[in-house]
Amino acid sequence: MTFLSALLAADTAKAAAPAAGSSGPLGDIIKLFGDFGVDGPHLLVQVINFAILAFVLYKFAIKPALGQLEERIRQAEQLQKDRAAAEAQLASAQKTAEAQLVAASDEAAKILADARNSAKAAIEAARAEAQAAQTEVIAKAKAAIEADRVKMMNEVRGEVSRLVVETAAKVLEQNLDDAQRGRLNEAAVKQLAR
């Protein structure tokens, strides 16, 4: 501040001398500026101050702010890109999901149809098996009944035959006399001789 004050004082003293002795349009202009309080040294100091201020502002305020702004812009652009990519990915995922859903639906329908067909086939097979088993059981029962019937008939026939023969033997034993038996013996002897 001391240096600036001294410089201003020197410049003011030096400017006062030529201004007093000069004339013409330039002098008028200078005088006019002087009347308005604008003189060279002050202007120079102001310019220097402004330059320093501008430099400081640029260095520590504007430049970081611009950097941040650019970073924000870059981030916004990146965000925009990410968003677009996410939207595209989302659309793709939705499309994939829809396709998978359709495929799953088709698959489910196919499985359901297969299951129905399998169930129908199983029911038909079980029905056929039951029918076959029923037929077999009936056939076996018929065969067993027939076998029992034949067996009973044979037993009855044998029993009747046995009773008939026993009765005939008893009747013959009681009714045959010696003469008849003698004739039978003679017939047997003749049969033996033949």
Residue with Cβ nearer another protein (1 or 193): 193
Rounded to whole angstroms, the Cα distance separating 30 from 39 reads: 8
* Candidate segments 41-49, 87-95, 114-122, 170-178, binder of another protein by CB under 8 A: 170-178
When asked if residue 185 is in the footprint of another protein (CB under 8 A), the reply is: yes
3-state secondary structure of 30: helix
Distances (CA, A) of 144 to 129, 131, 132, 148: 22, 20, 18, 6
Torsion angle defined by CA atoms of residues 8, 14, 20 and 26, in that order, rounded to the nearest 10 degrees: -80
3-state secondary structure of 194: coil
Residues 134-163 vs another protein: string with x where CB under 8 A?
Answer: --------------------x--xx-xxx-
When asked if residue 86 is in the footprint of another protein (CB under 8 A), the reply is: no
Token code pair at residue 116:
């129905």
Residue with Cβ nearer another protein (128 or 160): 160
- Applying CB under 8 A, which residues contact another protein? 154, 157-158, 160-162, 164-165, 168-169, 172-173, 176, 178, 180-182, 184-189, 191-193
